[in-house]
Amino acid sequence: MTRLSRRTARVTPMALAALLPAARAGGAIDLALGIPQGGPAEAAVEAAVAALRSGGNQYADPAGLPELRRALAAELTAVRGVPVDAEYEITISAGATEGVLVALIAATDPGDEVLVPQPFFENHPGVVELAGAVPRFVPLTDGVWRLEAAALEAAVTPRTRAVLLNNPHNPTGRVFDRAEFDALTVVCERHDLTLITDEVYDRFVYDGHQHLSPVGDLTALRHRSVVVGSLSKTRAMSGWRLGYCLAPPDLTSALRRVHERTTLGAPHPLQRGAVAFGPTDEASVATARALFQDRRDLVCEALRRTGCTVRAPQGGWFVLAGTAALAGDSGELARRLVEDAGVLVAPGASFFAPPEAGHGWVRIALVRDRAELRTGLDRIAVHLTRTPIPPRS
């Protein structure tokens, strides 16, 4: 067998990936993946096609089309209330995932440690490993999912160099508050850590909660932070793989050097399409946010009726449901739901280390058509009634 690098060997397969073939073959209702409803504006599609046909299909500026960087800078300036410099602070990446990887490579050396709150977005530990760093998991308070100062400080070692935080948090839906960020600021300053924030759901915050960011709200963190964003959620462009890194000029210079040696640049014609999309319309974002909050309430109510433990997410596109009272192994529950009920959910093992720590949880996406959500949730309820899953021995 060909020898693999140690960093590759440490990256485990995604738990959800094992369920996808059976789910697709059986036509299961997908309540696992955060796929936006609808698609990008027709003007964006037409502009991307026109760019392909008119020769705009060669390399663009590796930092991103200047027009797109200027458009994003203007939008971020308006939303965050502070100036953002398109020339020296924004880099267009091939999706937020590449943006996180680039930020980690720029901020850490092989063997350095990165604090990762747990539960975590399934991609994050693997991206840390691929950068050559080591994830150190910081447990969020059970059930309420708070980021506690004592847990942060306890996780720091002499090798700690960065913190990777997504906010709103996937999978819990937590929107971290100012007290939590104040504690994080103290830890970052005391130990000279770089903060990398994955903020792809920043516009989807519910019940009046406030999304806080190093750009705009947390001024003490801005000089040491890389904010990673995406066009996937607000513009329904998840397959276009367009994201961005927003960082101070010294960090941006390092990010661009890494970015040039990973993807070189994001797809030129799709960047043209994103420019044509223009700024996100605030009324449209507000409409989507209200729609998803309604879906959230539907999902939470239905899951509670089945006996799941549910804390309503404050933001994002997912509900993390506790299934310990119903099934000892949520992986087995997820498998049976696919095979017997025709519903795909994400097993909790995807979000915890070791994976066994997630056996009492499943994650369900709330960004679905209301009728499809109801059908899927009804199938889950019927299955749990008819086929109880015994606790793990």
- Domains of the chain, residue spans: 6-39+282-385, 42-277
Q: In this predicted structure, what is the pLDDT of residue 1?
A: 64
DSSP codes of every residue in 75-118: HHHHHHSS---HHHHEEEESHHHHHHHHHHHHH--TT-EEEEEE
Q: Is the dihedral of CA 200, 7, 109, 139 positive or negative?
A: positive
Contact 274, 240 (CB under 8 A): yes
Q: What pLDDT is attached to residue 116?
A: 98
Residue 277 has pLDDT above 80, yes or no: yes
d(CA 190, CA 19): 43
Give domain 6-39+282-385's CATH architecture. Alpha-Beta Complex (3.90)
pLDDT value, residue 326: 79
Whole-number average pLDDT of the chain: 93
pLDDT band at 164 (very low <50, low <70, confident <90, very high): very high
- Residue indicated by tokens 């953002």: 84
Contacts of residue 357, defined as CB under 8 A and 6 or more positions apart, other chains included, come to: none
CATH fold match for the domains 6-39+282-385 and 42-277 = no
> Of residues 328 and 183, which shows the higher confidence score?
183
Give the pLDDT of residue 325.
81
**Other C-beta atoms lying within 10 Å of the C-beta of residue 23:** 22
Going by DSSP bridges, is the β-strand pair 343-344/346-347 parallel, antiparallel, or unpaired? Answer: unpaired
pLDDT above 70 (res 355): yes
State yes or no: cis peptide before 354, omega within 30 of 0: yes
Task: Provide, rounded to the nearest whole percent, the portion of the chain with pLDDT above 70.
Answer: 97
Q: Cα separation of 393 and 174, whole Å? A: 32
- Report the pLDDT value the prediction gives residue 393, as an integer from 0 to 100: 45
How confident is the model at residue 390, as a pLDDT? 52
Contact 77, 83 (CB under 8 A): yes
Is it the case that residue 386 has pLDDT exceeding 80? no
Give the pTM. Answer: 0.94
Give me the phi and psi of 2, to 5 degrees please: -65, 135
Mean pLDDT of 165-190: 97
Q: How far apart are the first and last CA of the chain?
A: 36
Q: pLDDT (tens digit, 9 = 90+) per residue, 30-89?
A: 999 888 777 888 999 999 999 999 988 889 999 999 999 999 999 999 999 999 999 999
Q: Kind of pairing, strands 343-344 and 318-322?
A: unpaired
DSSP secondary structure string for all residues of 267-299: -HHHHHHHHHH-SPPHHHHHHHHHHHHHHHHHH
Q: For strand 318-322 and strand 361-365, is the pairing parallel, antiparallel, or unpaired?
A: antiparallel
For residues 168-194, average pLDDT: 98
Q: How confident is the model at residue 16 (pLDDT cuts 50, 70, 90)?
A: confident
Taking every pair of C-alpha atoms in the chain, what is the biggest distance, in angstroms? 63
Closest CA to 292 of 229, 228, 233: 233
**pLDDT tens by residue, 238-275:** 889 999 999 999 999 999 999 999 999 999 999 999 99
Predicted confidence at residue 26, as pLDDT, reads 93
User: What CATH fold (topology level) applies to the domain 42-277?
Assistant: Aspartate Aminotransferase; domain 2 (3.40.640)
**Among candidates 332, 294, 316, 305, which has minimal Cα distance to 364?**
316
